[in-house]
Amino acid sequence: MALIPPHFIDTVVALGIGDPKKEVAWVATGFFYGRHVGKDPTGQDMWRVYLVSNRHVLEGHDKLWIRCNPKAGEAAQIFRIRLVDADGNFMWYSSDAEGADVAVASINAPVLMEKGMKFDFFTDNGDGANIEKMNELGITEGDFAYTIGFPFGLVGRERNFAIIRGGPIARMRDLLVHAETQFLVDSVVFPGNSGGPVIYKPDALAVQGTKSVNRSYLIGVVTGYLTYRDVAISRQTGQDRVVFEENSGLASVQPVDLIEEAVAKHWLTLDARERTLAGSGVSSDSSAHGSPETTA
């Protein structure tokens, strides 16, 4: 019995910096997200595909490397994602909301398809649950969620193998009433998890008077973890000597709304012709999505 749809895991990629001819340091996590842009003349869905991660992951870099698994089972391959154009302008977008740490970059999905990569993406018209949808579904504290990513750059020797952890949603009601821009999940995350997706666990059981949710949803993006401070005190002087900052085990997560806002911001930069050409007209079957956005 699978509680995370297998194609959800195929959306997730490791993000790296460095020189692929020497060594790439895998420093963060990203995943693919598709905006539905209409249908082609044959009735097939068309999508524009984005790489989603954190703003703090993309900032300060002119490019990143993504690591993808081939369908045929060979060793993972890496591809460059350009983040700055020839004029020095950012090629990624983020919400203008205060504290937003979610960013998106449009990618050349057909290149991955042509190279035989095994990849998929979350769809904006079915897979994601924004704040409005979570309120409608009754998602709240105590419900279970999974975090997916590559802590400490643990990407797998030959192929990408993401690490999945999980725990209950620890605090969310302040987000659901728009008093906060993040929620907390009781899941231990580390450097490298930044930018990874958070998946709601379906459950057929529910307390009387509440709803059960019988399918998985993308509900957010890992942005970091809450810390606490521990102080070492000198026995001789009674004064603070060393301050340790420790991982509390609570993951900070920002909602799907910030992905939607970042994608919409990019969409507004496109002229009418580009929007018409925004999708490749491929089937909406798993691993057959794409968009013609130019990225190396």
Q: Which domain holds residue 213?
A: 6-276
- Strand bridging mode 23-39 / 122-123: parallel
268 in a structural domain: yes
In a domain, 129, yes or no: yes
Asked if residue 134 is part of any domain, the answer here is: yes
Specify the 3-state DSSP secondary structure of 228. Answer: strand
HEC readout, 73-142? CCCCEEEEEECECCCCCECEEECCCCCCCEEEEECCHHHHHHCCECCCCEECCCCECCHHHHHHHCCCCC
- Give residue-wise pLDDT tens across range 180-207: 999 999 999 999 999 999 999 998 777 7
Work out the widest C-alpha separation in the chain, in whole angstroms: 80
Question: Is residue 284 included in any domain, yes or no?
Answer: no
Q: Is residue 286 part of a domain?
A: no
Q: How much is the mean pLDDT over the chain? A: 88
How far apart CA 205 and CA 211 sit, in angstroms, is: 8
Determine, yes or no, domain membership for 47: yes
Does some domain include residue 1?
A: no
Domain of residue 62, CATH code: 2.40.10.10
Paired with 229 in beta bridges are 245
Position 291 in a domain? no
Tell which wins on pLDDT, 1 or 144. 144
Question: pLDDT tens-digit profile of 131-142?
Answer: 999 999 999 999
Q: Per the structure, how many domains does the chain have?
A: 1
**Global pTM?**
0.88
Distance spanning both ends of the chain, measured CA to CA: 39
Among 64-73, 102-111, 241-250, which stretch is predicted with the lowest mean pLDDT? 241-250
Spatial distance between the Cα atoms of 225 and 247, rounded to a whole number of angstroms: 7
